[in-house]
């Protein structure tokens, strides 16, 4: 009996990030000159329902600014629209985790955190995982 290995969808945040790094090997954290525009470009793609384009932009933003929540939040929105809730939850949870540091140092408006948490609550409970 022959076995075919299908490439399984990533199930952890680290697996997603590893695949993203392979997909965009030239993106260097904290060194991209045009990454400041990627958030707005991604939002424009989302508004136009160009989910593949939005996903690409937000992946690049996540890799370029790995300690900022915007790229993660953008990807969570893409995956929500695609009804890929486990992925949306992973990225929304990471966006909130990262945003906590910005909230703590006063560089994040509390209303933004409320928006993140409201978005996350729409996704439902986290899937239980065997850890």
- Domain limits, the chain: 13-24+35-122
Alpha carbons 52 and 75: distance in angstroms, whole number: 11
Looking at residue 127, its pLDDT comes to 60
Helix (H, G, I), strand (E, B) or coil at 87: helix
Looking at residue 7, its pLDDT comes to 59
Higher pLDDT, 112 or 127: 112
pTM of the model: 0.89
Fold type of domain 13-24+35-122? 1.25.40
Q: What is the pLDDT of residues 56-106, one digit of tens each?
A: 999 999 999 999 999 999 999 999 999 999 999 999 999 999 999 999 999
Residue 16 near residue 10 (C-beta atoms within 8 A): yes
Residue showing tokens 């199930």: 11
Looking at residue 33, its pLDDT comes to 85
Using the predicted structure, report yes or no on whether residue 4 has a pLDDT greater than 90: no
């Amino acid at each position: 009996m022959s076995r075919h290995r299908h490439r399984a969808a990533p199930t952890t945040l680290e697996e997603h990030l590893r695949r993203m790094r392979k997909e965009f090997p030239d993106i260097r954290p904290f060194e991209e000159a045009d990454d400041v525009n990627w958030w707005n470009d991604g939002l424009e793609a989302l508004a136009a329902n160009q989910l593949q384009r939005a996903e690409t932009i937000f992946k690049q933003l996540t890799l370029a600014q790995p300690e900022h929540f915007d790229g993660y939040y953008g990807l969570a929105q893409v995956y929500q629209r695609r009804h890929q809730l486990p992925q949306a939850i992973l990225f929304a949870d990471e966006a909130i985790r990262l945003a906590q540091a910005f909230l703590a140092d006063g560089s994040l408006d509390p209303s933004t955190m409320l928006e993140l948490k409201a978005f996350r609550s729409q996704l439902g409970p986290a899937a239980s995982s065997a850890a």
